[in-house]
């Protein structure tokens, strides 16, 4: 499986683990969940920033997790957006200086920029309303795009180019997630359509032959390879029964 897909799934696992602990997770737990990924310590710094952007607190030890008070459930998206709005003032003339400092490796400036762009990620996610992907998931993808961009800004030609790169990375991450979701939906719909077509052919052939048909008869009737017939039967579960194949094995 693609490392990017695995990494996204593991980040979801991190979020789920933190949700079960009232939005808190220890660094040891983060390392344990990501132990099979080829990550260095600098990567974990960005991961901690990403978790922070989801209002997840990263603490040094498991004991600190147990000491955290119960927060009464997961925060809603609207509350998350409201909290992000208060993290920093809207980008102003300071952005040029922050961009230059971040491009030169200033970690404090980079963190300030990350916080500054979080409300924009929520706005961009809102602009994709009506897609197959939930706003919360788009925000997660946008956060990943932001963190990726922040690792790539060193040596860029100007703050303006840096800002364009950040916004492009955020948009691209969301659009890729939407594209993958649409591809999966189309694939699922295609499989359903083919299974329905096969089911209809079974009924028609049984009506004409007046007996339960076999996979071989169906293959000849549809001029479809027997292997493809059997694949569709497996996809249909127990929806379609053929002679000698009642359990679709």
Give 236's contacts (C-beta < 8 A, 6+ positions apart). Answer: 195, 198, 199, 248
Q: Is position 140 within any domain? A: yes
240 compared with 82, residue with greater pLDDT: 240
**pLDDT, average across residues 51-65:** 76
Say whether both 116 and 197 belong to one domain.
no
Highest mean pLDDT among 36-45, 47-56, 85-94, 101-110: 101-110
Q: Which of 21-30, 61-70, 126-135, 234-243 has the highest mean pLDDT?
A: 21-30
CA angle 108, 114, 120 (to 5 degrees): 150
Residue-wise pLDDT for 175-225, tens only, equals 888 888 888 887 777 888 888 888 888 888 888 888 888 888 888 888 888
Q: Does residue 169 form part of some domain?
A: yes
What pLDDT shows up at residue 1?
Answer: 45
Question: Do residues 51 and 110 both lie within one domain?
Answer: yes
Per-position DSSP letters for 107-162, written without gaps between them: HHHHHHHHHHHHHHHHHHHHHTTTSSS-HHHHHHHHHHHHHHHHTS-TT-S-HHHH
**Confidence (pLDDT) at 159:** 81
Question: What does the block give as tokens for 153?
Answer: 């800004």
Which of 143, 168, 183 marks a domain boundary? 183
CATH value at residue 15:
1.10.1740.10
Q: Are residues 209 and 158 in the same domain?
A: no
Take residue 85 and report the two structure tokens written for it: 């709005």
Q: Quick one: pLDDT at residue 249?
A: 42
Q: What is the mean pLDDT of residues 1-21?
A: 73
* pLDDT (0 to 100) of residue 245: 59
Domain annotation covers residue 95: yes
Going by pLDDT thresholds of 50, 70 and 90, the confidence category of residue 244 is low
Helix axes 77-85, 107-127, angle to 10 degrees: 140
Give tens-digit pLDDT for 131-189.
Answer: 778 888 899 999 999 999 988 888 787 887 888 888 888 988 998 888 888 888 877 77
Residues 139 and 199 in one domain: no
User: Which has the higher per-residue pLDDT, 70 or 220?
Assistant: 220
Confidence class of residue 246 from pLDDT cuts 50, 70 and 90?
A: very low
Q: Assess whether 11 and 78 both reside in one domain.
A: yes
Q: What is the pLDDT of residue 185?
A: 80
Judge whether residue 87 has pLDDT over 50: no
The whole-model pTM stands at 0.54
What integer best gives the mean pLDDT of the chain?
78
What was the pLDDT predicted at 6? 67
In which domain, by residue range, is 175 found? 3-65+74-183
Asked whether residue 192 is domain-assigned, the answer is yes
Residues 198 and 102 grouped into a single domain: no
Q: Domain count for the chain, please give it.
A: 2
Q: How confident is the model at residue 73 (pLDDT cuts 50, 70, 90)?
A: very low
**Does residue 248 form part of some domain?**
no
Predicted local distance difference test score (pLDDT) of residue 161: 80
- Please identify, among 183, 200, 226, the residue that sits at the C-terminal boundary of a domain: 183
- Please check whether residues 110 and 193 belong to one and the same domain: no
């Amino acid at each position: 499986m693609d490392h990017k897909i695995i990494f996204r799934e593991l980040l979801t696992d991190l979020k789920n683990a933190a949700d079960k602990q009232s939005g808190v997770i220890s660094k040891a737990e983060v390392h344990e969940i990501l132990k099979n990924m080829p990550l260095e310590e600098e990567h974990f710094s960005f991961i901690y920033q990403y978790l922070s952007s989801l209002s997840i607190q990263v603490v040094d030890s498991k004991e600190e997790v147990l000491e955290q008070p119960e927060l009464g459930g997961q925060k809603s998206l609207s509350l998350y957006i409201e909290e992000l709005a208060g993290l920093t003032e809207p980008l102003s003339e300071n952005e040029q200086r922050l961009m230059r400092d971040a491009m030169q490796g200033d970690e404090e400036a980079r963190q300030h920029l990350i916080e500054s762009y979080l409300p924009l990620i929520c706005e961009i996610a809102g602009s994709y309303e009506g897609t197959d992907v939930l706003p919360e998931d788009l925000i997660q993808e946008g956060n990943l795009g932001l963190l990726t961009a922040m690792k790539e800004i060193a040596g860029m030609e100007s703050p303006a180019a840096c800002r364009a790169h950040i916004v492009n990375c955020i948009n691209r991450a969301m659009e890729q997630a939407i594209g993958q979701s649409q591809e999966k939906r189309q694939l699922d719909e295609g499989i359903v359509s083919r299974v329905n077509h096969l089911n209809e052919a079974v009924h028609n052939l049984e009506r004409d032959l007046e007996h339960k048909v076999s996979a071989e008869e169906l293959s000849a009737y549809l001029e479809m390879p027997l292997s493809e017939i059997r694949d569709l039967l497996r996809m249909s579960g127990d929806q379609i029964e053929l002679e000698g194949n009642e359990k679709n094995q």
